Structure 1
Amino acid sequence: MTVLHSAPKFTLIDGLKDTLSGALGDMLVEAKEEHGELLLTVQRDSLEDALRLLRDEHSYQQLMEIAGADYPSRAERFEVVYMLLSLTKNSRIMVKVTASEATPVPTATTLWPNAGWLEREVFDMYGVVFAGNMDLRRILTDYGFEGHPFRKDFPLTGYVELRYSEEEKRVVYEPVDLPQDLRTFDFMSPWEGADYVLPGDEKAHTPPVDEPKTTDSPKETGAGAKADKEAEDKVSKGAPAEEGTEKDRTPAPEPTEDRKDRPKRKGKTTDTAPSTQPKGGKK
C-alpha cells in the first residue's frame, strides 16, 4: 500500500527568498542563497520577533542548531547562526545575526527550550552573551577555565594547564610551561627547496663509491659444488635415517588380529548389552 506524506520529497527553494524577505520586512538585513539553502541576516534587536514569525507563520517548527563564527577583523566580530527546520515543508533555512564582545544577543529560550544548551555552548566557545538566558554557564570547558577556545586569537596552547598535585591532593591550575619549543611546520618537502636538513638527510651528502665491487665468478661469492656438498653433509649428518641399518632396527609388532591363538568371538558385535549390565539382571 502506498503511504502518502504531507511533506514533499525535496525542498523547492524557488520563490522562498522573496516570500520570507517580504514577511520579515525591516527586520531583514540581507537574504541570499548559498549551497542550496536560504541564508537570512536579520537585525540583532529584532531576532526574537523574526524567529517567532518564521516559527508560527511559516512552519519552521524546530531549532536544530546554534553555531558561532569569529571574524576578528570586523567591528562586530561574531556571527550567531540559527538553523531552522520545517517538517511540513521539508525545508531548512539559516538565520544569522552579528554581535561583538559587548553587545548581547537576545535569547531564543522563549521560543525553543533546547536553545538554552545551544546558547551555553556558543557562550563557552566564543564568549557571546545571550540576554535573557537565566542559566548562561560554561558547558564544555572545565570550571575556572579562562578564555574562549574557538576565538581566532585564542592561543593553541591555552593560558593555563592543570595537573593533579600529590602534595595538595587536588587538581591545580598553573601557567602553561612548554618543556620544548613549539615546532614550526612549513609543509614543504625537503626535495622542493627547504632550507633545513631533516634528521638522517645528512647521509645524502656522502660521496658515492668510486668503483662498486662486483662478483664475476662463483668463487668470489663462496658458492659452488664444494660448498653445496659441505652444506649437505652438515644438514644430513645425524639424521635418524642414516643411523644404523635395517638389521639393527627393532621389527614392528605383528597385528593382533592375525594371532592364531585368539579365541573366536561369540555372538554379534552389537550384542554388548549383557556385558554392560550389572550382575543380577536389569534394574
Structure 2
Amino acid sequence: MSEALRDFSSYVRERLGAKVQDAAIAFGELALQVEPGDIIDVLTFLKNDVQCQFVSIIDICGADYPMREKRFDVVYHLLSPRQNLRVRVKVQADEETLIPSATPIYPGADWYERETYDLYGVLFAGHPDLRRILTDYGFEGHPLRKDFPLTGFFEVRYDDEVKRVVYEPVELKQEFRTFDFLSPWEGTDYVLPGDEKAKQ
C-alpha cells in the first residue's frame, strides 16, 4: 500500500467524519462505506474538494446479497485524473430504500442509475427519468436479483409481420422434453426410421 494512498484515506476520513462508516484500501483503491442519506454530501465533497477532484464518474453498479437485511450494494466508481486516483463509494439498500440520485452532481450518472434500477430494482429518489433501460417495458421483476423463477409462462420474440415485440405462452417442443437415457451400446427398444433392415 502506497504512503500517498494511506495519507489520502486519512484526509478523506478526517474531512468527512461520521459520514464515512468505513474506509478500506483494497486492490490499490480506497473504498468508502456510507449511508444512503449521506451519499450526496460525500459525492459533492469528493468532486469539489481541491485534494480530491473526482470529477469523472466511471460507473454505478449493484450487487445482490439475498441473505443480508439490506441485500443490495450500490457501488459508485469515481476517477480523479488530476490526482491519478480511483475511489469506490458503497451504499447498502433494500427493496424500499430510496437512494438520492447523483445526477445533480454527475449528470453522467443518469443511465447508470437507470441500469441499476432495471437490473436490481434499487430506487433512486429525484432521478429525472427512472425507467427501464435494458429490459422490455412489460418485463416483470429484475433480472439480476437472485430470487427470480427459472422458468416462466411467457416467451418474448420480435415478430417481423407486426414489427414489434410479442409475448406468447411458452411452448416447449416435444423432442426437447423426451430423453432416452439408455446406453448407446445396448440400443433402444424402438425402431428408428430407416433401421428396419438392420433388425431383420
TM over 0.5: yes
Q: Are 1:91 and 2:85 an aligned pair?
A: yes
Q: CA deviation at 1:103?
A: 0.9
Partner of residue 146 from structure 1, selected from 127, 140, 143: 140
Q: Are 1:50 and 2:42 an aligned pair?
A: yes
Paired positions, count: 181
Partner of residue 33 from structure 1, selected from 25, 29, 42: 25
Residues 21, 28 of structure 1: 8 Å contact kept: yes
Q: CA deviation at 1:117?
A: 0.7
Aligned to 1:173: 167
Q: Are 1:20 and 2:12 an aligned pair?
A: yes
Structure 2 residue matching 1:21: 3-state secondary structure: helix
Q: CA deviation at 1:35?
A: 1.5
Structure 2 residue matching 1:72: 3-state secondary structure: coil
Structure 1 residue matching 2:87: 3-state secondary structure: strand
Counterpart AA for 1:24: L
Q: CA deviation at 1:15?
A: 1.9
Structure 1 residue matching 2:136: 3-state secondary structure: coil
Q: CA deviation at 1:160?
A: 3.1
Aligned to 1:136: 130
1:139-192, Cα deviation, whole Å (9 max, x unpaired): 1112211111111112344563123569978543134444445x9xxxxxxxxx
Residues 82, 95 of structure 1: 8 Å contact kept: yes
Name which one, 1 or 2, has greater alpha-carbon Rg.
1
1:107-159, Cα deviation, whole Å (9 max, x unpaired): 00000111111100001110111000020011111221111111111234456
Could you say if the C-alpha distance between residues 199 and 141 of structure 1 is closer, same or farther in structure 2, counting changes exceeding 3 Å? farther
Q: Which has the higher contact order (CA 8 A, sep 6+)?
A: 2
Aligned residue runs from structure 1 range 4-19, under 5 A: 12-19=4-11
Q: TM-score, normalised by structure 1?
A: 0.57
Structure 1 CA distance for aligned equivalents of residues 164 and 58 of structure 2: 39
Aligned to 1:120: 114
Q: Are 1:104 and 2:98 an aligned pair?
A: yes
Structure 1 CA distance for aligned equivalents of residues 56 and 110 of structure 2: 14
Residues 82, 96 of structure 1: 8 Å contact kept: yes
Aligned to 1:81: 75
Counterpart AA for 1:128: V
Counterpart AA for 1:124: D
Residues 83, 93 of structure 1: 8 Å contact kept: yes
Q: TM-score, normalised by structure 2?
A: 0.79
Structure 1 residue matching 2:36: 3-state secondary structure: coil
Percentage identity across paired residues of the two chains? 49
Could you say if the C-alpha distance between residues 175 and 72 of structure 1 is closer, same or farther in structure 2, counting changes exceeding 3 Å? farther
Structure 2 CA distance for aligned equivalents of residues 167 and 63 of structure 1: 42
Aligned to 2:154: 160
- Give the stretch that moved more between structures: 172-181 or 31-40: 172-181
Gaps of 5+ in 1: 1-9, 184-196, 204-283
1:213-258, Cα deviation, whole Å (9 max, x unpaired): xxxxxxxxxxxxxxxxxxxxxxxxxxxxxxxxxxxxxxxxxxxxxx
